[in-house]
Amino acid sequence: MQSALASGYHDTAPGTVATVVTSFEMRSPPAPRPEREAGDWRLEDWHRPPPAEYRSLFRRVGEDWLWCSRLMMADDELTAIIHDPKVEIRRLVTPEGVGLLELDFRGGDECELAFFGLSPELIGSGAGRWLMNRTLEIAWARPLARLWVHTCTMDHPAAVDFYRRSGFTPIRRQVEIIPDPRLNGLLPESVAPHIPCLPG
């Protein structure tokens, strides 16, 4: 097991970015939060999405926050996950924008909320709360012992409070260091200006 970082400042390697990751869990379903009327919002079951189409939605939702884990995977590696019968993917479709919901039930009686996000046009519209209520309905329709999710300091500034208000409890903090996806062409150099790009 890797030892914890000592207190103080730690340099990262050139060409990388570091983020603080917080994991959350819930052990029973909370009461649904009040939500706005969905109107013409639709949550579609996205069964066995083609990798290219999946990555397109992944980028639309996560590009501003440097989401890159699924962009780094080869097609066969990505397909093995998103076509697994124990991984459920849904997309929120609205006239204004889109959302992504991915639930990973491969952990037995545990479920990871692997990806949850909205395209920029929907942030602040109430779609996040609406989508979270649907997420909890879908997840807790199964006999789960735990539902968990993680977010990080590269995510939307309101993400931590959103998960706490949704009924999740913080349980773990880690530091993650990854190659900056803007330096290898996975994402444009112009995205996520709140995270300075430091070439090696």
Q: How far apart are CA 119 and CA 131, in angstroms?
A: 13
Res 3: pLDDT:
63
- According to DSSP, the β-strands at 146-152 and 16-26 are antiparallel
With a threshold of 0.75, does the pTM exceed it?
Answer: yes
Strand partners, 112: 104, 148
Evaluate whether 121 touches 96 at the Cβ level (below 8 Å): yes
What is the fold of 41-179? Aminopeptidase (3.40.630)
Segment 133-170, tens digit of pLDDT = 999 999 999 999 999 999 999 999 999 999 999 999 99
Give Cβ neighbours of residue 6 (< 8 Å, ≥ 6 apart). none
